[in-house]
Structures are given as C-alpha cells and as structure tokens.
Amino acid sequence: MPVDPSAERLVLRRPDDWHVHLRDGDTLTMVARHTAWPFARAIIMPNLTPPVTTVDAARAYRDRILAAVPAQAGFTPLMTAYLTDEIDPEEIARGHAEGVFTACKLYPAGATTNSAAGVTDIRRLDAVLARMQEIGMPLLVHGEVVDADIDIFDREAVFIERVLAPTLARFPALKVVFEHITTREAVDFVRAADERVAATITAHHLELNRNDLLVGGIRPHNYCLPVAKREQHRIALREAATSGNPKFFLGTDTAPHAIADKESACGCAGIFSAPVALESYAKVFEEEGALEQLEAFASENGPRFYGLPLNEGSVTLERCAWTVPEIVEAGGLRIRPFHAGQSLGWRVLRAD
Ligand code: NCD
Ligand code: ZN
C-alpha cells in the first residue's frame, strides 16, 4: 500500500512480535502489557530459570502470561521449547500436537542470558531436528558460536559456516528462523537460502552500531547479544528489513533487565524495546523512505512463514513528537527502555 510521506496517521494490519523475552513473576506482570499493546501475538522465548523444556512448564507459563495482560488486549502468546542436549523428541512433538509449542529455540550453551542449559553440540539434536522436520515445526536459532578463540564480533558469521549451513544441508526440509541477525553475512545467507529459511531483525540493530556501545564511554544499555556490529552491517540490515523481501520480519528481542544489573562491572546483555518497538521500526522505515514496506515486515511476513493466519485487527500510529521515559517502573523494578530520554516522531494511538 503506498504511504503519503506527509501522512499524519499510519494504519497497519495488527502486527506480531516474533521474538520476545517476557521473564516471569513481577517482571512479567510489568513488561507483558507493553508487548500486548500493539502486538496481537508474540513468540515467547523460553530462557527462564529454570528454562521451559516441558509441555507442562510451557502451558503454565502461557497461563501466567495471559493472567498478566488485560483480557481486552486479545493477546496470544506463542510458546517455544528450550532445547537441551537431553530433550526428548516426543515431548517436543506432543507439545506441538497439543498446540502448546509453536517452535523450538536453540541456544548454544553459554551464548547469552540463561543459556547455560543450552546445546553443547548441534549433532546431539539429530533426533529432535528429524522429528521437527517431519512435523513442520520451526527451529529458532540464536546464531552465535561460543568458542573462546572466536572474536565476539565474528561469532554470528562463523555460526553460519560451522553450524547453520551444515544443519540445513543435513535436514533439507527443516524450517529455520535465524533470530536477531546482526551482520551482512547473515542477510546475504538468508537471501540466498531457500524459502524455509527466514530471519528476524530487531529495532535496536537497525538503529545502533558498535560505536553506540563504546564511543564517549561504555554504554551498557546498548549492550545486547548478538552485539551490535560495524556500520556496514547496520546498513545491510536496514536494506533487508525495508526491502519487502518476505524472508525478513519483525522480532524485537525485547529483553528487560533491572538497571542495576545492566550498570554493573559485568552488565547483562539485553535491550528493553517493547515500550517503543513499533515506533522505533516506523522511524527507521521512514528514514529509509520505505514506510509502505512496514506492514509486510511487521504484520504479514511472519505469519506467512509460520503458516498462521494474518491478524484481522489494525494498529494506528500517529505522527507526534514524544519523549521516551528514562525509566519504566512498576512494583519496585526499574528498567531503562530503548530510546530512553530521546524524542520519537511516531506513537501508537490505538490497536484493535
Ligand atoms: C536476551 C535475554 O536477556 O534474555 N539477551 C539479549 O541480549 N538479547 C537473550 C538473547 O536473546 O540473546
Ligand atoms: Zn532473545
């Protein structure tokens, strides 16, 4: 749909977020409504402590999420299973058949927050991946190798070579989402792959490069994993997201951490983007002269890849300068959102 560049309002089919961390307990109560406000559905990451590895745990977590969001939000959490070396393929298949597990998440052990129980070698997942391939269940990958000799800025590119490409070759019908891609190499790989391979792109990786982490002082609130890369990679991500290519879709990777845990000698990885996510994407698409591509990226490409219906409702963004709060607070928890203290030019006015 063509968009008039001077339009004061932007109406999109209601979007989904294909990668979110909602946490649990008080944090869940505090953050879930930020995702459920503009987004109709979200893929819920399973990296709780302990991780979500069983159908029962996923069902109980889904109930806690539904209890945390207002019923009128009409929000559907799509649950994922956290893959471990020992996970039982039959538990995964049962969860999928019972409509509890939408997908499985692969965290290489040690790659990121709460990934200690993750997978030590993808070959250990052969039986699980074979079963997933058979039932058409997508594998969502945190695409970084963790070998100590690989520079942190190279971990994604090396993952493609050492893990992703060989796995796709061994499982020729397995559907894979390469999550939160951060490099030109990942963009090129996904573009060239066949149609069972797609990727999510976060708002923060469209906005930040590695200078934003380090120039003028270390900026822990811009630290996430995979870490932001050089400017040329950010440019490649912006081209991919705004290109209209159906393989790329919205996944914020919103990952809240208490301010004290980020502003620390060993600060946590994760950016809490949920309160500004759709606005931040709209800013990027507008800067790229591609607002007419936002709806496909936010609301169409994801459900088509997952084989789910498109949402019926809509979301309205209004052109309006507003300043993002420095802190989002509730129940004693203090979290600094993405774009804190900055001015944004679009704001979600309504969602139905
Ligand atoms: C995520 C988290 O905090 O759970 N952190 C992040 O930097 N993105 C985990 C993840 O997705 O890597
Ligand atoms: Zn994540």
Cα–Cα dist 205/8, whole Å: 26
Query: Residues with Cβ < 8 Å from 64, sequence gap 6 or more?
Result: 24, 28
What pLDDT is recorded for position 348? 97
* DSSP H or E stretch at residue 203: helix 203-207
Report whether pLDDT(35) > 60: yes
- 87-120 burial, b at 16+ Cβ within 10 Å, e below that, comes to bebebbbebbeeebbbbbbbbbeebbbbbebbbe
pLDDT tens sequence across 225-260: 999 999 999 999 999 999 999 999 999 999 999 999
Active site residue 188: no
217 torsion bin: left (phi>0), alpha (psi -120 to 50), beta (else): left
Q: Which atom of ligand 1 is nearest to the CA of 225?
A: 7
Among the bound ligands, the one closest to the CA of 113: 1
Q: How many CB atoms lie within 10 A of CB 24?
A: 14
Distance 342 CA to ligand 1 centre (A): 23
CA 289, 189, 271: angle at the middle one, nearest 5?
A: 60
What pLDDT is recorded for position 2? 62
Among the bound ligands, the one closest to the CA of 200: 2
What percent of the chain clears pLDDT 90, i.e. is strictly above it? 96
Cα–Cα dist 28/24, whole Å: 4
Distance 33 CA to ligand 1 centre (A): 19
Among the bound ligands, the one closest to the CA of 19: 2
For ligand 1, mutation pick of 47, 201, 271 (most atoms within 8 Å of CB): 47
pLDDT tens sequence across 135-171: 999 999 999 999 999 999 999 999 999 999 999 999 9
Q: Which atom of ligand 1 is nearest to the CA of 19?
A: 11
Phi, psi angles (nearest 5°) of residue 285: -65, -35
Q: Which of 26, 85, 253, 352 is catalytic?
A: 253
Query: Which residues does residue 314 pair with via DSSP β-bridges, in sequence order?
Result: 13
pLDDT tens sequence across 161-209: 999 999 999 999 999 999 999 999 999 999 999 999 999 999 999 999 9
pLDDT tens sequence across 54-95: 999 999 999 999 999 999 999 999 999 999 999 999 999 999
In the structure encoding, which two tokens stand for residue 311, read together?
């949402």
> With a 6 A CB cut-off, is 255 part of the ligand 1 pocket?
yes
The model carries a pTM of 0.98
Query: Residues with Cβ < 8 Å from 190, sequence gap 6 or more?
Result: 178, 181, 197, 198, 199, 240, 247, 248
In the structure encoding, which two tokens stand for residue 206, read together?
């469209």
Query: In order of start, what are the domains of the chain with their CATH numbers?
Result: 9-351 (3.20.20.140)
In the structure encoding, which two tokens stand for residue 347, read together?
């704001």
End-to-end CA distance of the chain: 20
Report whether pLDDT(5) > 80: no
Average pLDDT, the chain: 97
For ligand 1, mutation pick of 43, 44, 49, 113 (most atoms within 8 Å of CB): 113
Distance 189 CA to ligand 2 centre (A): 20
